[in-house]
Structure 1
Amino acid sequence: MKNKKQLIITTLSLAIIIVSAVLSIRYLQVKPVSTATNTKTTETETYTDKELAKKTLTQNTASQTEKSAIEVPRVEPPAKPLEPTPDSTKQTQVRQAVSNEHIYYPLQTANDPGYASNWAIQKVNAPAAWDISTGNGQTVVAVIDTGFALNHDDLKNNWYLNSGENGNTIAGDNCWTGDPQNKATNSCDDDSNGYIDDYRGWNFSIGDNNPQAGRTNAYGVGVSHGTQTAGLVGAAGNNNTGIATINWNTKIMPLQVLSDDGPGYTSNVVAAVYYAVDNGADVINMSIGGSDYDADLKTATDYAYSHNVVVVAAAGNCGTGTEQGCTGLPAGTMGYPALNDHVISVGATTVSDQRASFSSYGPDLDIVAPGSGTINTTTWTPSNGTSLYTSSLSGTSFSSPQVASLVSLIKSIRPSSSADDITALILATSTKLSVMNGLPYTNEYGHGIINSNAALTVAASLNSISSIPKLLQSGGSVTEHRYASTDNLSSGCNTTIGTYCSIWFRDNSNGRERYLPYTLANQQGLTGWSWNGSFIPSSSWTIKAVQGDNRSNSYFLGVK
């Protein structure tokens, strides 16, 4: 899916520029909003749960009182990662195996206030999707980030709990001592996963079982970032508290890899990815980024893909090249892990459906989601860790978790689907924005903005399909496995009447992927698309008709 780019430093002066870019820490001004004294309008009508959520979505945020912004000074990262504590033999093993430590940062940028409080959830068509599903409470999204407000009112009931480290020990258990003990606090690795007492996630930055925000620096630059992304992934919905996100009922696995001050390292991020996969995550969200190709992290994200765990990552915040942390980088430069193969990379849009100026872009961008303006989500400060919400946020960091939330909602109705199937459902059901001028893909918007209702509609229909689609023509009347960017081409699918089909393209040289929109087959079982050769960059492509995990034989198309 992604072009594996590795930065080559050719001159000393260029090296200095790039190193300074990597070591620059991005910062964010957050306007926290307390709901401790929130006064909501009393409803006299009665509604179903879904109707109530749709009707009160604005009420739950509109009455929040805005406080002054908090600006945190930039800090330099430590010279090397902190040594882990003896609480995790597995984390120590991963750290020793990592070949080179790269630095990662929370992907943030400046505030861009001024939009209606609930515009983001409407833009992604979530209210309509809630008529299909609001989640089943069984999906798990691992959020790999800074620390978390573990006691926040809108999050505390949605944390993932490790069943192997909860409850009391009994005779025959791995850690039985003769008397029942609480597995969460018995200083023993009850489930033998290499982590002691990891009953609710893990703090890879410190090396223990407490991923609480603010433990090392309550005023650090990244201290609230993890709480904000977690809220956009899975704040509890329809609970008369705070906000609703796309999936009301998913579990969040809190994995801290970045310090309160912002930076984190390859070994911590890699260990967290392996932990997420090995401990039951369905989805991984990484609103973090670095500018260098990282072979160890690539191996980890490939491991996730091979286990059908969907990885979603923020594209980056170098849209103009002048943002903090982007000095010396070309405008639009995307970062890692978003550039890794089999990772869904996410850019940011505004309330007017424009690419946010800071949002990174290019031929490796997959999808966009709201990420600039009045993005309401949970947050944390030293004085309020239970009832605080943002009124304004900007960054691809806050677009990525919305996509992860949608992935988990799809998994709630299609639990056995593969990572490839989920990727197709996200990309091939997106809304094509007007600025895309009718094209199925552009470098600035990827496949378009996520459409929650369309994704769930197609996902639900695929559950009853068992037939294998047949790929019809993919090319043009004068092409035979060859194309030019100026050619007008077409593709077709022959399948069961009234079922959805898409066309999947994969670049054989660098892993980029493209999808034509999921479309219903007509009464003859046929559907087709017309497209221009510029839709797929000049390369060699494998093409298949797809319906979920059912895929046709391959066709190959190469550049003239």
Structure 2
Amino acid sequence: MTDNNGQIASGTGWQSGEDLRQQGYESIFNLDLDNDGHIGEPPQDNNDDFDNTTNTSGYIEVGGTAEGTLEVSGDRDWLRINLVAGNVYSFAVEGQALDDTYLRFYDSNGNLLEENDDYNGFNSAINNYQAEVTGDYYLGVGAYADTGTGNYIVSANNNNQIEEPPQDNNDDYDNTTNTSGYIEVGGTAEGTLEVSGDRDWLRINLVAGNVYSFAVEGQALDDTYLRFYDSNGNLLEENDDYNGLNSAINNYQAEVTGDYYLGVGAYADTGIGNYIVSANNNNQIEEPPQDNNDDYDNTTNTSGYIEVGGTAEGTLEVSGDRDWLRINLVAGNVYSFAVEGQALDDTYLRFYDSTGNLLEENDDYNGLNSAINNYQAEVTGDYYLGVGAYADTGTGNYIVSANNNNQIDEPPQDNNDDYDNTTNTSGYIEVGGTAEGTLEVSGDRDWLRINLVAGNVYSFAVEGQALDDTYLRFYDSNGNLLEENDDYNGLNSAINNYQAEVTGDYYLGVGAYADTGTGNYIVSINETPLPPAGYSSSNGYGQINIQRAFEQYLNVTLAAADALGGNSWTLDNIYAPEVWRQSEGFAGATGLGAVVAVIDTGVDLDHREFTGRIVQGYDFVDNDLIADDGNGHGTHVAGTIAGAYDDFGVTGVAFDSEIMPIRVLGNDGTGYTSDIISGIRYAADNNADVINLSLGGGGYSQSMADAIEYATNRGSVVVMAAGNSGGISPEYPAAHAINNGLAVGAVDQYENLADFSNLAGSTTIDYVTAPGVDVYSSIPGDSYAFYSGTSMATPHVAGAAALLSGYDPSLSAESIADLLTGTASNTISDSSVNYLSSANLIYDEITYGNAFITAENVSSFSPEEFSGILIGRASDTCQFENFSEIDNMPILPVHQFEELTSNLYALNFDGLTDAYSYVSELLQQNYFHYFEFDQAWTVA
């Protein structure tokens, strides 16, 4: 506040708007400080009917109305009302001479709870307010912008009760649970709202679990309103204008069996006239038009029947006809049902239990045909398939089929069939072995018995030889289907990491996709070792702990450090400060002497965080020595690793380490395999101690795997982001951590795995976690920002590796990886680690499928696939001049060859008319060991 000289007065504190107005500050500052619509004192109104404070004389009863007047502009009238906790209320104000109303609602202390303008035209309403406490509340009536005047009517209603309508001795139905109104499910009832405010209740009996729909259609009644109440008269649902001015409540599932009530009224309780109300059970259908020639009834009394494994034909004779067919199912078995229209254009399939309750339904599963797939019967007994037309408007004949997914149709008779498709099969395979077989005819499926041990984990695979497209199923000892897979690896199939629940016989079922192929195959089974103690398929070895890694390596105990807090929580969570400081027998580690290659979008070379600690890198996108950052991702990564320790911006995990910027991703954050592997080899050849790969999105690449192995053997710790797709195992390149390097998942401040982070997977790899949610770090232009992703988690681990490498340069890459995995959070106590997140994981993304093109598999690729850039590993005897010796093949210009590393080339086949033949010849003549397609990658 200011004093008389215009200076700020001390010790005045905050004051209310009304106090400020009374002290004249509204006029001084020309502001409406008390929000009454006026600057200065409001117009004097000695005739004001109601005050606008909790001292108002205005009062309104629940279920009643009150009238009032806004005498002058800026007037607001408050009316006290008493509410009961838990009850639900609606309030409305309708202007008479007052044109545009505004309604506010306050608690007992005058605090605003809700407000509304123009709920219905210029009238205002607050609906469905549930009182939190019993006691006084206040309704505040005003004008829009506090500019209007005139009289009004305000109303208040308890939604748990209804208003008493005007007395009408001729009222057909009461509006309480004592009503004489009644309606049958599936029927209709007529009634009349005789006077304004009349509401008619009709009792209806519902069955728990069934689903119902209710509707009211006005006849002379113009605008209907439908309410639905439980047995005690509590409002459950309401609807206005579901269909034009008619109202409906659809798909209500009854919670208990017994009486309910439908309440029919008019919108705003102002209309009168007659109406028709209807109620339908969605688990049944309306009686179709009478058809004495109907083939099947639409109830559980139907004469229709279908065998499992068979088909049945029928006809919808008239619009609205639905045919039910009884079928007997066995509990635990899995079934599929389908209907195909013949003359019937657009089918609709429903499936009911033994009492006629709807279980599932489907429209247009396949074109205009319908299907319900993979239903597992809960009980043994009768069920019903209901065949109808879309919208019940079509007619015509149809064919319905039912199949047991645990069995197969009897294939065409083949006396030379090698293996049966039942548990009586002669087929057998040993764990760790293979077996060969043949699908002799279309529809053939071969079963092979196998003996498994409870608790052990197994993987199964089938590879087609002459059989093009395999399909693999896995059954228990009784022939019940447990798992199935198609096209796990190209056209071959596999079921991975199945943990046997009981010891005994199981069965592998080999078939063809859609049961249409024939030919020979090889099936294999291998026991998968259980993950080591302290490994989880969710978060691998857990969050890194740098303090524990050093303690284990040096056999010392490091002193605790004070938490940094704030945006540096990420450093606290991985115990970096404990390692920076000196302790007894330990000089501390800050990354001094370590070089970390950031293979990314580049790094802001002029950022204050890296002053004096940038070593020469390379830009493989623009092919120059200036690996600057035009995206920001790489700079953020680098800041987490090596941001300066200067009480400004961000402090890196290894703040004394040096950054080698290597740009392989463009300003849009994308790049290619050829540049990434060049970047990895550049870093390794230039003595990078740690390589950070915060990128992903491509598939398996043999040349990428070779580059990571090369760097590891040269002493570089390769740290890779697990991916942000939320998958059950890491994306590439992190999936290569099965052999070399570290994969990194992301956790939040509370060490919970981030929703987006790819999991470790059930195949044991070197996978750890680190903070990757809302990580604060550097971005170009001496700026800072919060980023999230496994890209942000990875540099925390890279920094940890740099601390170890800088402290002891003699440590190998494998030793550093072992220290970080062996001291992560899951290794503290392995008793609670969930080794397999699921006993039956079908998909494990660590696969070598479609890895590379060789002389053996080149024929499986189409010529159309050979365009653009391919990466190839040349043989030791390959020389450029040899390429001219390929008979009848064009000489590929030298400028279309790029040597990535020794014996690794990128070949650009754009413009070459027969690249497929060219590649085939290079492979067949042993000039190249393999080729692979260049892939696109992006920041992670």
Return the TM-score normalized by structure 2: 0.28
Structure with bigger helix share is 1
Structure with bigger strand share is 2
* Structure possessing the higher radius of gyration over alpha carbons: 2
> Which structure exhibits the higher relative contact order, with contacts defined as CA atoms closer than 8 Å and separated by 6 or more residues?
1
Return the TM-score normalized by structure 1: 0.47
